C-alpha cells in the first residue's frame, strides 16, 4: 500500500520501498486497484463515505501475504478503523474481508524488523539526521525503537536526538486546515526543535507529517530538508553501490 499521499504527492517514497524490499529479497507488487485507506473521511466524521473506499481497499489487497506501507498513520487506519467502517456498513461480507486484510497490514519498519528480521538494510546515507517519531506509529502502532534501530545501522548516518521528539507536530489530517492556527503553532515548535539539532535532514515515517513540518521549515528558509525514512533506508549514497 503506497498510500494516496505518497502516490499523488511523494512517489519517491513508494519507489524507495520497492527498491528496499527487492534488495532484501521480497517479491513486491503494487495492486493498481488500490487508492486510499479512507482515514481522511473517517477522521473527519464521514464514515458512510468511507465505506466504498474501504471496500476498494480490501478488494485490492485480499490474497497477499503482507500489505506493507510507508506510513504509520495509514497502517493504523487499516488496523484500527476499518472494522469500525465495516461495522457501520452492515455488510457481513465486508466485515469478513476486513478481518482478513487488517491483520496483514504492516508499517514499513514493523515489516523489516519483525517479519524480515533485519535491522541493517545495507543503506548508506552520509548525513546528519534527526528523526521525528510520528504519533500514530508511536502511540497507535507502538513501533517503539524499530525506526531508530534501522537508522543507526545506516552507513555514514549521524543520528541526532530531537528534543521533545514524542510531541505531535500538529499535522493531524484535516486538523491542519480546520484548526490551521493551532496546527501551525504546534508545528512551529516542532520546527524550532528540528533546527536546534543542527541536522541537515529531518526523517520520519509519514510523509503527511513531513509535508507539514517541511512546509514550515521551508517557509522559514531553514535549509533543513525532509525525507521519508524509506528513502534513507533505500539510499546507497557514497557507498559505491
Among positions 98-137, residues that touch other proteins (CB under 8 A) are 135-136
Of 45 and 103, the one with the shorter C-beta distance to other proteins is 45
Q: Which is nearer to other proteins, 138 or 154 (CB)?
A: 138
Show Cβ contacts of residue 10 under 8 Å, excluding neighbours closer than 6 positions: 207, 211, 228
CB of 63 to other proteins, least distance (A): 16
Instruction: Judge contact between 142 and 173, C-beta under 8 A.
Output: no
Q: Quick one: 48 exposed, middle or buried, by C-beta within 10 A (0-12, 13-18, 19+)?
A: exposed
Phi, psi of 129 (to 5 degrees): -125, 140
CA distance 142 to 198: 28
Closest CB to other proteins among 152 and 204?
204
Report if residue 93 touches other proteins, rule: CB under 8 A: no
Distance CA 61, CA 57 (A): 6
Site string for other proteins, 34-53 (x = CB under 8 A): xxx-x-xxxxxxxx-xx-xx
Q: Which stretch binds other proteins (CB under 8 A): 121-129, 143-151, 154-162, 179-187?
A: 179-187
**CB distance 194 to 162 below 8 Å:** yes
Nearer to other proteins, 152 or 199 (CB): 199
If one asks whether residue 179 binds other proteins (CB under 8 A), the answer comes out as yes
User: Cβ of residue 117: shortest distance to other proteins, in angstroms?
Assistant: 23
Q: Does 56 bind other proteins (CB under 8 A)?
A: yes
Q: Is 78 in the site for other proteins (CB under 8 A)?
A: no
Contact 228, 205 (CB under 8 A): yes
DSSP string, 81-125: IHHHHHHHHT-HHHHHHHHHHGGGEEEHHHIIIIIS--S----B-
* Complex with other proteins: residue 152 or 208, whichever CB lies closer: 208
Q: How far is the CB of 200 from other proteins (least distance, A)?
A: 9
Q: Does 83 bind other proteins (CB under 8 A)?
A: no
Amino acid at each position: 500500500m503506497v498510500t494516496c499521499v505518497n502516490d499523488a504527492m511523494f512517489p519517491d517514497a513508494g519507489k524507495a520501498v520497492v527498491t528496499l524490499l527487492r534488495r532484501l529479497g521480497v517479491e513486491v507488487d503494487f495492486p493498481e486497484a488500490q487508492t486510499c485507506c479512507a482515514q481522511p473521511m473517517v477522521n473527519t466524521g464521514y464514515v458512510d463515505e468511507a465505506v466504498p473506499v474501504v471496500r476498494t481497499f480490501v478488494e485490492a489487497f485480499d490474497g497477499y501475504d503482507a500489505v506493507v506501507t510507508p506510513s504509520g498513520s495509514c497502517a493504523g487506519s487499516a488496523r484500527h478503523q476499518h472494522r469500525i467502517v465495516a461495522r457501520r456498513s452492515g455488510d457481513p461480507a465486508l466485515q469478513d474481508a476486513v478481518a482478513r486484510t487488517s491483520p496483514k497490514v504492516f508499517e514499513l519498519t514493523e515489516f523489516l524488523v519483525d517479519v524480515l528480521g533485519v535491522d541493517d538494510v545495507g543503506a548508506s546515507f552520509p548525513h546528519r539526521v534527526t528523526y521525528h517519531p510520528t504519533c500514530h506509529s508511536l502511540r497507535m502502532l507502538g513501533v517503539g525503537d524499530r525506526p531508530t534501530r534501522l537508522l543507526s545501522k545506516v552507513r555514514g548516518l549521524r543520528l541526532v536526538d530531537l528534543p521533545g521528539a514524542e510531541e505531535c507536530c500538529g499535522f493531524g489530517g484535516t486538523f491542519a486546515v480546520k484548526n490551521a492556527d493551532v496546527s501551525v503553532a504546534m508545528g512551529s515548535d516542532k520546527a524550532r526543535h528540528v533546527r536546534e539539532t543542527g541536522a541537515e535532514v529531518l526523517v520520519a515515517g509519514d510523509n503527511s507529517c513531513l509535508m507539514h513540518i517541511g512546509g514550515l521549515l521551508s517557509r522559514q528558509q531553514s535549509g533543513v530538508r525532509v525525507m521519508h525514512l524509506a528513502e534513507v533506508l533505500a539510499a546507497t549514497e557514497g557507498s559505491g553501490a
